[in-house]
Amino acid sequence: MIYGDHRLFIQFNTILELKNTSLITLNPQRTKRLELIKSLSDSGMSNVQISDYLNSKGLKTPKGKDYYPKLIWVTLKKYNSRLERSRSYKVIRVVERLVVQKLKIITTQF
């Protein structure tokens, strides 16, 4: 906001506590497979049904093996934990202050 020959603005300094600082970005193909598994689970399919579905589509694990129910369970558990870590944060402190800057008046002479 400009007030007279001054510019006024509010400056914020926020400190957050995050649990996802060590998250490594996954390969897009792997992320797509995890999202598929989660969406199948969210739609009501059991671990047995999900593993059968993935195997029938010819999809393999990152190590090139077939899926089995316990692997689906562990995969979902780890992926859900990963999603939770990426969403969780806590605001530790917020400091705001009013900043006033004097505008520089530039004059040009011809």
Query: What span, in angstroms and rounded, lies between the C-alpha atoms of 100 and 13?
Result: 16
**Which strands, in side-by-side order, build the sheet including 6-18?**
2-3, 6-18, 89-102
Say if residues 11 and 19 touch (Cβ distance below 8 Å).
Answer: no
Mean pLDDT by 10 residues, the chain (110 residues): 83 76 72 95 97 96 94 96 78 84 71
Count CB neighbours of 53 within 10 A: 16
Whole-model pTM above 0.75? no
Structural tokens at position 38: 């989660």
Half-sphere exposure of 17 (CA within 13 A, CB side): 4
pLDDT at 10: 87
Say if residues 67 and 54 touch (Cβ distance below 8 Å).
Answer: yes
pLDDT at 74: 97
Query: Residue 78: which H helix or E strand, with range?
Result: helix 69-87
